[in-house]
Every structure is written in C-alpha cells, then in structure tokens.
C-alpha cells in the first residue's frame, strides 16, 4: 500500500506539472514547454498503468467497482485518448482541456476511500460485470472528448462571428474538423454505451431481481443512449451540423455527469463506496 500511495502522489504532482506547462504553452506558445508537458503526461500514463496493475494484483479483481477505482480508470482513459489523438492529429488545446478534466477527476479522488471494499457482493461479481463497467467508462471517455471538441467549436464560432482573430484562434482546428472529430467520437461512444447496457442487462438478469429495468441508473443510461443516438440521427439523416449540433452535444454531456454522479447514489444496485 505504501508503494501505491507513493506512485499515486507522483502521478498527481507530475499530472499537475504537465497541465500547468500545457497552460503556459497555451498562454505563450513554446515548442520546448509543449514537448516537456507531453513527456510528463506520457510518464503520468505509464505510472497510472503501473498503479492500476498493482491494484489489480493486490485486490485480485479488475479494479473498477468502487468510486476511487472508477474515477481513476476514467482519468486513465482520458489521458490515453488525449495522447493518442494528439499523436495523430496534433491538437494541443484538446490535450490541455482533456487533462484539466482528468486532473480534476484525480483531485476529486482524494476525497474517495482508496481502501474501500466493493459494495457488490462476491456472489454478484463476474467477468461480465467488469466488462460492462469498463466499456461504459470507455464510452464516457469518448463522450468527454466529443464534448470538448463541441466546446472548442462554440468558442471558435463565436470568435469568428465577432471577428476576433488572435494567436489562440490560429491554434484551433477549423470548424469543419471540430464538428467531424466530435461526430466520430460519438460514433464510437454510442455503440460502446449500447454494448455496456446490453451486457449490464444480461448481468442484472442473471444476478439481480427481475425488475432491474425500473432502476434509476438503468433508466438514465437508456436516456443517455437515446440522446446521443438522436445526435447521430440528426447528423446523418437530417444533416444537422454546426452550432446547433454542438449545443446539443454539450447539453448531452451534462447527462453523462448526471448519470455517473446522481443516479449512482440513488440506484438500488449501482452504489459507490
């Protein structure tokens, strides 16, 4: 446990340093500062991976059951996706905004009980449950990055309409690219969420009471799927693009937060500790 605490502290300090350097690069562009921030973030990802594996070995299960574990895994997903996207597309501002969220999640995690035991009894745990939770968190990661691209779209659109042109505008991708990136991430997030719901329904049918469909968490997850499916429907069938779609996407992400935070505390079998 001491080694894990030491690694976790190192993750937090290095993560904070990386975010601060990315912010410094945002204020006054510097290739050297950006490169240092990127490698610090890569080290954070490596340490997070080590911490996760150590937790898995110590606890003898895939650690995504408690509040601390799910938040940590979600943060790892955000770091991973931001590094991958930045490697292929070089969108520095996405890395900054994504990891502001990721670091905030780790900061919130200070208030979670790291040594908490899962509320799900051993009788209810199964490989299906771990896969269900992992895929759901992956979908949340995709929706998070899509949300950031939509926010960047709304900011750039407003600046262009007000005829504001500055050094930060030159670092933003074009509106068409921001709209496309957001759409593609939702194209990944929706089937992931659908798979998570299907797997969760199978697990609940086998392990929980028959009326699990009326559980607040289940109803909220289905609503979330419908909201993002409507986004894809309007984008593909009705030709929605631009500001209207970005606003819908930004509003949809509020449901992601609501689904994770609120419904997880009132659900009969989705409880965090």
Contact 142, 97 (CB under 8 A): no
pLDDT digits (tens, 9 = 90+) for 169-202: 677 778 888 889 999 999 999 999 999 999 888 8
- What is residue 64's three-state secondary structure? coil
Euclidean distance between CA atoms 197 and 174, whole angstroms: 35
Residue 167 DSSP label: T
pLDDT digits (tens, 9 = 90+) for 71-81: 899 999 999 99
- Nearest of 121, 123, 118 to residue 69 by alpha carbon: 118
H or E, element range at 128: helix 127-161
**Banded pLDDT at 265 (limits 50, 70, 90):** low
Query: In this predicted structure, what is the pLDDT of residue 143?
Result: 95
- Neighbouring C-beta atoms of residue 45, cutoff 10 Å: 17
**245: which 2 tokens?**
């779609």
**139: which 2 tokens?**
């979908």
- What is residue 61's three-state secondary structure? coil
The torsion angle over the Cα atoms of residues 105, 87, 34 and 176, rounded to 10 degrees, is -80
% of the chain residues with pLDDT over 70: 85
Residue that wins the pLDDT comparison between 147 and 34: 147
Query: In this predicted structure, what is the pLDDT of residue 1?
Result: 58
pLDDT digits (tens, 9 = 90+) for 203-222: 877 776 667 677 778 888 89
- Where are the chain's structural domains? 1-60+71-115, 119-273
Mean pLDDT confidence for 3-30: 86
pLDDT digits (tens, 9 = 90+) for 47-73: 999 999 888 888 777 888 888 888 899
**60: which 2 tokens?**
């003898």
Euclidean distance between CA atoms 170 and 219, whole angstroms: 43
Residue that wins the pLDDT comparison between 119 and 110: 110
Q: Considering only 92-106, 107-121, 197-211, which range has the smallest mean pLDDT?
A: 107-121
**231: which 2 tokens?**
């986004």
- Go through the chain and tell me how many residues it has: 273
**246: which 2 tokens?**
């970005």
Euclidean distance between CA atoms 171 and 174, whole angstroms: 9
């Amino acid at each position: 446990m001491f080694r894990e605490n030491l690694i976790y502290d190192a993750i937090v300090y290095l993560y904070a340093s990386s975010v601060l350097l990315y912010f410094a690069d945002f204020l006054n562009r510097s290739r050297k500062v950006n490169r240092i921030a990127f490698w610090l973030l890569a080290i954070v990802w490596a340490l997070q991976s080590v911490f996760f594996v150590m937790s898995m070995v110590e606890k003898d299960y895939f650690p995504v059951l408690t509040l601390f574990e799910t938040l940590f895994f979600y943060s790892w997903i955000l770091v991973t996706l931001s590094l991958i996207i930045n490697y292929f597309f070089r969108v520095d501002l996405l890395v900054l905004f994504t990891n502001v969220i990721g670091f905030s999640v780790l900061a919130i995690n200070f208030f979670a009980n790291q040594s908490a035991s899962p509320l799900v009894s051993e009788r209810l745990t199964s490989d299906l449950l771990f896969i269900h939770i992992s895929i759901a968190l992956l979908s949340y990661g995709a929706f998070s990055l899509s949300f950031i691209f939509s926010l960047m779209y709304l900011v750039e659109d407003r600046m262009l309409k007000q005829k504001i042109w500055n050094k930060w505008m030159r670092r933003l991708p074009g509106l068409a690219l921001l709209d496309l990136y957001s759409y593609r991430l939702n194209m990944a997030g929706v089937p992931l969420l659908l798979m998570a719901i299907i797997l969760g329904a199978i697990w609940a049918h086998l392990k929980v009471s028959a009326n699990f469909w009326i559980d607040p968490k289940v109803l909220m997850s289905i609503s979330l799927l419908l909201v993002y499916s409507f986004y894809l429907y309007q984008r593909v069938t009705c030709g929605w693009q631009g500001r209207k779609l970005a606003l819908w996407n930004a509003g949809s992400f509020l449901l992601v937060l609501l689904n994770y935070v609120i419904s997880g505390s009132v659900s009969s079998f989705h409880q965090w500790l």
